[in-house]
Amino acid sequence: MPKVTITRKHVIVVDTVGENSYKDMTFKDKEGNDYKISNKRVQYFEGKIVAGQAVQLNYAMSSFGKEFIYSAELIKDKLPSPVRVETVPVPGVEIPPQPPKPPPSPAPKPISGQEEGMWWKHKAFSLSYAKDLACHGVIEVKDIYKYAGEMLDWLNKPMV
């Protein structure tokens, strides 16, 4: 087996640990970054990637030139204790009050025939039907728009 060279080391605090559909180990750190360890290498990491623990990830380069997590070490008592940080007000800077937001405008009322959202279908249907009547000699060609308008009025009538 060729000697592996560690390319970089990265310390994280593990937040969640899981497994995807390929049985790869997946985990997130406290900052929300995702990490994945191939299912072929999971056995080397069992017990080392634990939620809530600090872990040092050691990266190496694969033969394909892609960086991968080569090993992991639990870090105990090596992390500094958290420092409490308090907000300090900046002198001389005042935040102006924000104006109230205007109420949302009401939705526009639909125009006649739009209640069902079918007005454009009704218009196309009436014109097509009037054209068919003219093609079969039932009405004259000059009367197509007149009959299409009458049919459209009939289609837009409210049903009782």
pLDDT computed for residue 4 by the predictor: 80
Q: What's the number of domains the chain is made of? A: 2
Q: Domain containing 34: what range?
A: 6-75
Instruction: Please report how the helices 119-135 and 144-156 are oriented relative to each other, as an axis angle in degrees rounded to 10.
Output: 140
Together in a domain, 12 and 68: yes
Considering only CA atoms, which of 49, 51, 48, 45 is closest in space to residue 70?
45
pLDDT computed for residue 151 by the predictor: 84
Q: Which tokens in the block code for residue 62?
A: 């694969």
Residue pair 130/145 in contact by the 8 Å Cβ criterion: yes
pLDDT computed for residue 58 by the predictor: 92
Q: Domain end: 56, 75, 94, which one?
A: 75
Instruction: Look at residue 118 and give its three-state secondary structure.
Output: coil
**DSSP code per residue over 139-150:** S-GGGHHHHHHH
Domain membership of residue 126 (yes or no) is: yes
- Looking up tokens 């790869």 gives 24
Q: Domain end: 75, 108, 136, which one?
A: 75
Edge to edge, the sheet with strand 6-19 lists 34-37, 25-29, 6-19, 54-61, 67-75
The rounded average pLDDT for each run of 10 residues, N- to C-terminus, in the chain (160 residues) is: 80 90 91 91 86 89 88 75 73 80 78 60 86 91 89 76
